[in-house]
Structure 1
Amino acid sequence: MDIRTVIGELLALYGVILTITGLIKGADARADVWAGICLLIAGAAFLLWAKIRPVKVPEAPRQADSGQLEES
C-alpha cells in the first residue's frame, strides 16, 4: 500500500465534490470550481506518480534455522 495512492484518491474525491458543488451554486462559486479542478489535477498527478514509479521493497536476507545467515 502506497501513501501516494491514498492521497491521490482523497484529493480527487474532494476535487469532484468541490467542482460539483461549485457548478451547482452557479456563478457565485467560481473559486469552488477552480479549487476543485486544481484538486482533481493534483490527485491525478499523485495517482500517476504512484503508477509510474511504484515503491520497490528490498528483500530481507534469508536466515537459516539456526539464526545464522546462509552462505551462498
Structure 2
Amino acid sequence: MADNDRSRQGARAPRKTAGAFDIRNIIGLLLGIYGVLLLLAGLFMDPDKDKTGGINANLWTGLALAVASAVFLGWARLRPIVVPEHVEPAETDPTRPGPTRRGGSH
C-alpha cells in the first residue's frame, strides 16, 4: 500500500545506474589515458615532423583523443544507464542460443 501512495504522490525511488561498469566510462577512461600520454609526448618530446608532413602528430592525436574521452564521459554522465530492479528469469526458448534447461534428472 505504501508503494501505491508513494507513486501517487509523485515521489521517485532512487534509480540504480551502471556507474563505473558503464562501457562508456571505461572507453572514456582509456581514451583519456592515451590522449594525455600523447599530449605529453607531443609537448615534451622531439616532434620528428619530417615523417608526418610537418605536423606534430602526437600533439594533435592526443588532443583528439582527449576530446573524444570528454565526449564519452560526458555522455555517460548526462544519460546514465538505469539498471532495472527486478528482471524476470529467461524461460527455455528454442530460438535462444546456448545450452537449454533439461527437465527431470539425467
What band does the TM-score fall into relative to the shorter chain? Answer: 0.7 to 0.9
Structure 1: 5+ residue runs without aligned partners? 63-72
* Aligned equivalent of 2:68: 42
Give the Cα separation in 2 of the matches to 1:11 and 1:61. Answer: 33
TM-score by length of 2: 0.53
Q: Separation in 1 of the partners of 2:87 and 2:29?
A: 34
More helix by percentage:
1
Give a deviation string over 1:6-32, Cα, whole Å, max 9, x none: 110110110000010111124435011
Instruction: Report sequence identity in percent.
Output: 47
Structure 2 Cα separation of the partners of residues 36 and 28 of structure 1? 16
Q: Which residue of 1 aligns with 2:30?
A: 10
Q: Secondary structure at the match of 2:48?
A: helix
Equivalent residue number for residue 51 of structure 1: 77
User: Structure 1 counterpart of 2:22, which letter?
Assistant: D
RMSD over aligned Cα atoms:
1.8
Larger Rg: 2
